[in-house]
Structure 1
Amino acid sequence: MSNRTTKLSAAALAISLAFPATAQDAPTADTVVATVNGTEITLGHMLVTRAGLPEQYSQLPSTVLWEGVMDQLIQQSVLANSDGITETAGIKLALENQRRAMLASEAITAIAANAADDAAVQAAYDANFANVEQEGQEFDASHILVETEDEAKAIAEELAGGADFVTLAKEKSTGPSGPNGGALGWFGPGMMVEPFQKAVEAMQPGDISEPVETQFGWHVIRLNDTRAKTAPGLDEVRDQITEQLQKEAVEAAINDLVKKADITRIAPEDIDTSVIENLDLVGN
Structure 2
Amino acid sequence: MRNLLIAGLLAGAAFVPAAYAQDAETTAPEAAAESTPESTGAAAEYDVDTVVATVNGTDITLGNVIAMRERLPAQYQNLPDETLMTGLIQQLADQLVLANSLSTDPDQDPVAVKLQLENDRRAALANIVAEQYMSEPVSDEAIQTAYDAQVEAFQPRPEYDASHILVATEEEANAVLEEINGGADFAEVAKEKSTDGSAGQGGSLGWFGQGQMVPEFETAVVGMEKGAVAGPIQTQFGWHLIKLNDTRESAAPSLEETRPQIEQQLRQEAFQGKLETLRGEAEIEIKAGEVPAAAVRDADLLN
- The TM tier, using the shorter chain, reads 0.7 to 0.9
Q: Kindly tell me: are residues 114 and 157 of structure 1, through their superposed partners in 2, closer, same or farther at Cα, counting changes over 3 Å?
A: same
Deviates more, 1:137-146 or 1:26-35: 26-35
Name the structure 2 match of 1:254.
Answer: 275
- What TM-score comes out, normalization by structure 1 length? 0.82
Query: Which deviations, in whole Å up to 9, do the C-alpha atoms of 1:114-157 show, x marking residues without a partner?
Result: 3755443332222113x345333211111111111111111111
Name the structure 2 match of 1:56.
Answer: 75
Written as runs of structure 1 = structure 2, the 5 A alignment for 1:153-192 is 153-192=174-213
Q: Kindly tell me: are residues 148 and 281 of structure 1, through their superposed partners in 2, closer, same or farther at Cα, counting changes over 3 Å?
A: closer
Q: Kindly tell me: are residues 226 and 276 of structure 1, through their superposed partners in 2, closer, same or farther at Cα, counting changes over 3 Å?
A: closer
Q: Kindly tell me: are residues 163 and 272 of structure 1, through their superposed partners in 2, closer, same or farther at Cα, counting changes over 3 Å?
A: closer
Query: Which deviations, in whole Å up to 9, do the C-alpha atoms of 1:69-113 show, x marking residues without a partner?
Result: 110111112222236664123322221111001111111112222
Consecutive unaligned residues in structure 2, runs of 5 or more: 1-39
- In structure 1, distance between residues paired with 2:46 and 2:116: 31
Query: Which deviations, in whole Å up to 9, do the C-alpha atoms of 1:200-236 show, x marking residues without a partner?
Result: 1222222112321212111111111111221122343
- What TM-score comes out, normalization by structure 2 length? 0.77
Contact 1:115/1:245, CA 8 A, preserved across alignment = no
Name the structure 2 match of 1:134.
Answer: 155
Written as runs of structure 1 = structure 2, the 5 A alignment for 1:208-223 is 208-223=229-244
Give the root-mean-square deviation of aligned CA atoms: 2.4
Name the structure 1 match of 2:49.
Answer: 30
**Which residue type is aligned with residue 125 of structure 2?**
L
Consecutive unaligned residues in structure 1, runs of 5 or more: 1-19
Query: Which deviations, in whole Å up to 9, do the C-alpha atoms of 1:28-64 show, x marking residues without a partner?
Result: 2222111222222111111111111111213422211
Name the structure 2 match of 1:101.
Answer: 123
- Which of residues 146, 155, 159 is equivalent to 2:167? 146
Written as runs of structure 1 = structure 2, the 5 A alignment for 1:72-111 is 72-82=91-101, 86-111=108-133
Name the structure 2 match of 1:41.
Answer: 60
Contact 1:195/1:213, CA 8 A, preserved across alignment = yes
**Which residue type is aligned with residue 251 of structure 1?**
Q
- In structure 1, distance between residues paired with 2:294 and 2:186: 68
Does 1:112 find its partner at 2:131? no
**Which residue type is aligned with residue 90 of structure 2?**
D
- In structure 2, distance between residues paired with 1:214 and 1:92: 57
Name the structure 1 match of 2:34.
Answer: none
> Equivalent pairs: percent with the same residue?
47
Name the structure 2 match of 1:203.
Answer: 224
Name the structure 2 match of 1:70.
Answer: 89
Q: How many residues align?
A: 261
